[in-house]
Structure 1
Amino acid sequence: MKKTHTKSEGILSRIAFFMTPIDGRYEDLLKGNKKLNIIKDLTAGLIVAMVAIPLAMGFAMASGLRPEQGIVGGAVAGLLGALFGGSKYQVYGPTAAFIPVIGGLMATYNHSFLILVSILAGTLLMICGVGKFGRIVALVPHSIVVGFTIGISIVIAFSQLGEIFGFKEKIGYGLLQQIQKTMLYLPDANWFAFALALITFALCKTLIRFSAFIPAPLIALGVGWLVSSTLWKSNGLILIKDKYGAIPTDFLVITTPQLPAMTASVVFDLVYYVLAIFIVAAIESLLCSRMADRLANNTGIPYNPNKELWGQGMVNIITPLFNGFPHTGALARTAVNIKVGAVSPLAGIAKFTFKLLMAAFLATYLEQVPMACIGGILLYVANGMVKRKEIREVLESKNPCHILLMIYTAAAVPLWGFMPAVLTAIVIFVIMVLLGWVKKPLLQDIPVPAQTPAKRIMETV
Structure 2
Amino acid sequence: MSSAPAASLAPKWWHLYIPKLFVVLQQGYRASDFRDDVIAGLTVAIVALPLAMALGIASGTTPDKGLITLIVAGFLISALGGSRFQIGGPTGAFVVVIYNVIEKFGYEGLVIATLMAGAILVVAGLARLGTWIKYIPQPVITGFTAGIAVIIFTSQIKDLFGLQMDHVPGEFFEKVGAFWHARDTVMQGSVLIAALGLGIIIGLRRFAPKIPGFLVAVVFASVLVYVTKMDVPTIGSVFGGIPNTIPAPSWPEGITATRVAELIPSALTIAFLAGVESLLSAVVADGMTGRRHKSNCELVGQGVANCASALFGGMPATGAIARTATNIRSGAKSPVSGMLHAVFVLGFILFLAPLASYIPLAVLASVLVIVAWNMSEHEKFIHLLKSPWGDKAVLLITFALTVAVDLTVAIEVGVIMAAILFMVRMTHAFEMQTHITLVESDVADIVRHEDQHYDMRSHLPEGVEAYQLRGPLFFGVSSRLLDVLDQMVVKPKIFILRMGQVPMIDSSGETALEEFIRRCHRANIRVILTGVQPEPMKIMVSMKLFQHYPDLILTHNFAEGVKRAADLMATEAKE
Residue of structure 1 aligned with 2:169, choices 169, 172, 180 = 172
TM-score, reference length from structure 2: 0.71
Q: Secondary structure at the match of 2:105?
A: coil
Structure 1 residues 287-296 or 266-275, which shifts more? 266-275
Cα 1:40–1:408 shift into 2, 3 Å: same
Task: Work out which of the residue numbers 268, 272, 278 in structure 2 matches 1:275.
Answer: 268
Query: Aligned pair 1:343/2:333, yes or no?
Result: yes
Q: Which SS does the other structure have where 1:107 is aligned?
A: helix
The answer for the alignment partner of 2:97 in structure 1 is 101
Aligned 8 A contact 1:26 1:88 in 2: no
1:340 shift after superposition: 1.2
2:249 equivalent in structure 1: 254
C-alpha deviation, 1:444, in angstroms: 7.5
Match of 2:181 in 1: 184
User: Equivalents in 1 of 2:164, 2:28: separation in Å?
Assistant: 50
Distance 1:441 1:154, change over 3 A: closer
Contact 1:114 1:257 in 2 (8 A): no
Tell me: CA distance 1:28–1:162, structure 2 relative to 1, closer, same or farther (3 Å): farther
Offset of residue 221 of structure 1: 0.9
The letter for the 2-side match of 1:218 is L
Contact 2:112 2:255 in 1 (8 A): no
214 and 405 in structure 1: CA distance in 2 versus 1, 3 angstrom threshold: same
Cα distance between partner residues in 2 of 1:120 and 1:303: 25
CA-to-aligned-CA distance 1:185-222 (integer Å, 9 cap, x gap):
01111022012112112212222344554222111111
C-alpha contact 1:212 1:340 (8 A) present in aligned 2: no
Name the residue aligned to 2:235: 240
- Higher-RCO chain (CA-CA 8 Å, sequence separation at least 6): 1
Aligned partner (choices 357, 363, 374) of residue 367 of structure 1: 357
Q: Give the structure 2 partner of residue 220 of structure 1.
A: 217
**Structure 1 position 89 matched with structure 2 position 85:** yes
Deviation at 1:47, TM superposition (A): 0.9
Contact persistence 1:57–1:67 (CA under 8 A) = yes
**Residue 157 of structure 1, CA deviation:** 0.3
Report if the CA contact (8 A) 1:147-1:406 is conserved: yes
Alignment map for 1:381-396 (pairs within 5 Å): 381-396=371-386
Instruction: Give the secondary structure class of the aligned counterpart of 1:381.
Output: helix
Question: CA contact under 8 A between 2:75 and 2:339: conserved in structure 1?
Answer: yes
Classify 1:206/1:271 alpha carbon distance in 2 versus 1 (closer, same or farther; 3 Å).
Answer: same
Q: 1:193 to 1:39 in 2, by over 3 A?
A: same
Within the alignment, does 1:358 sit opposite 2:354 as a pair?
no
Q: Does 1:202 align with 2:195?
A: no
Secondary structure in 2 aligned to 1:435?
helix
Contact residue 26 and residue 345 of structure 1 kept, 8 A: no
- State the SS of the aligned residue for 1:249: coil
Query: Paired residue for 1:117?
Result: 113
1:278 is displaced (CA, Å) by: 0.9
State the one-letter code of the partner of 2:244.
Answer: T
Map 1:415-434 onto structure 2 (within 5 A). Answer: 415-434=404-423
Deviation at 1:126, TM superposition (A): 1.1
Count of paired positions: 431
Paired residue type of 2:487? A
TM-score, normalised with respect to structure 1: 0.88
Checking the alignment, whether the CA contact within 8 Å between 1:41 and 1:341 is kept in structure 2 is yes
Q: Give the stretch that moved more between structures: 249-258 or 321-330.
A: 249-258
Report the Cα distance in structure 1 between the residues aligned to 2:339 and 2:210, rounded to whole angstroms.
18
Distance 2:256 2:264 in 1: 15
CA contact (8 A) 2:121 2:303 kept: yes
Runs of 4+ in 1 over 6 A off after TM superposition: none
**Alpha-carbon shift at residue 102 of structure 1 (Å):** 0.6
Which of 378, 401, 425 aligns to 1:412? It is 401
RMSD: 2.3
Cα 1:26–1:89 shift into 2, 3 Å: farther
Change (3 A) 1:313 1:257: same
The 1:56–1:444 alpha-carbon spacing in structure 2 relative to 1, beyond 3 Å, is closer
Q: Which moved more, 1:150-159 or 1:187-196?
A: 187-196
- 1:251 Cα shift? 1.0
Match of 1:450 among 467, 476, 487: 487
Bigger Cα displacement from structure 2, 122-131 vs 248-257: 248-257
Q: Structure 1 residues 152, 28: CA separation in 2 closer, same or farther (over 3 Å shift)? A: farther
**Alignment partner of 1:391: what SS?**
helix
In 2, Cα distance between equivalents of 1:253 and 1:96: 26
Give the aligned residue type for 1:311: G
Instruction: Show CA shifts across 1:279-308 (max 9, x none).
Output: 100110011110111123x2x4x0111111
- CA change 1:187–1:141 in 2 (3 A) is same
Unaligned runs of 5+ in 2: 1-9, 429-471, 490-575
Check the 8 A contact 2:91/2:317 in 1, yes or no. Answer: yes
TM-superposed deviation, 1:136: 0.8
Tell me the residue number matched to 1:49: 45
Pair 1:69 & 2:65 matched: yes
The letter for the 1-side match of 2:117 is A
Mark the CA change 1:319 to 1:20 in structure 2 (over 3 Å): closer, same or farther: same
Opposite residue 23 of structure 2, the aligned amino acid is: G
1:376-426 residue CA offsets vs partner (Å, 9 max, x unmatched): 111111111122432244234x32211221122222111112101111111
Alpha carbons of 1:441 and 1:153: their partners in 2 closer, same or farther (altered >3 Å)?
Answer: closer
My pick for the range that moved more, 36-45 or 325-334, is 36-45
**Amino-acid identity (%):** 27
Partners of 2:356 and 2:479 lie apart in 1 by 48
Q: Deviations 1:170-195 (Å, cap 9, x if unpaired)?
A: 32212101110111001111022012
Report the Cα offset of residue 153 of structure 1.
Answer: 0.5
**Rounded Cα–Cα distance in structure 2 between residues aligned with 1:136 and 1:89:** 21
CA distance in 1, matches of 2:411, 2:198: 29
Q: Describe the superposition over 1:121-171 as per-residue Cα deviations: whole angstroms up to 9, x where unpaired.
A: 111111111111111122101111111111011010001111111023132
CA contact (8 A) 1:203 1:220 kept: yes
Deviation per CA, 1:37-71, whole angstroms, max 9, x where unpaired? Answer: 32211101001111111100111111111111111
Could you say which residue in structure 2 is the equivalent of 1:23?
22
Q: Distance in 2 between matches of 1:176 and 1:63?
A: 18
Q: Alpha carbons of 1:211 and 1:269: their partners in 2 closer, same or farther (altered >3 Å)?
A: farther
